Structure 1
């Protein structure tokens, strides 16, 4: 019975690590995309009129 509980908890821990790594990766990608779009806007600010 204890082995089954250990396997379930181990699988849950592995899934948490995978989800954490993917969240960090997606956050980093989103940050890079935001910085890139900001740089493009700043480089072309003379063409923007309100």
Structure 2
């Protein structure tokens, strides 16, 4: 019974940490995408064909 409790505690803590890492990575990727999109829109008038 004790072994199962420790395994579940470790797995639960690992899942929480992984979730936090995924949230931070997702937010960072979103911010970078928004910045790049804004730069593209800002500089679109400078393109000549």
Q: Provide the TM-score with structure 1 as the length reference.
A: 0.89
**Which residue of structure 1 lines up, in the alignment, with residue 34 of structure 2?**
35
Question: How many residue pairs end up in the alignment?
Answer: 49
**Which residue of structure 2 lines up, in the alignment, with residue 20 of structure 1?**
19
Unaligned runs of 5+ in 1: none
**Which residue of structure 2 lines up, in the alignment, with residue 4 of structure 1?**
3
The alpha-carbon deviation at position 4 of structure 1 amounts to 1.1
Residues 2-50 of structure 1: CA distance to partner in whole angstroms, max 9, x if unpaired? 1111001000000000111101110000000000000111111111235
Question: 4+ residue runs of structure 1 moved beyond 3 angstroms?
Answer: none
Write the distance in 1 (CA, Å) between the matches of 2:30 and 2:40: 15
- Structure 1 counterpart SS, 2:32: helix
Q: Provide the TM-score with structure 2 as the length reference.
A: 0.91
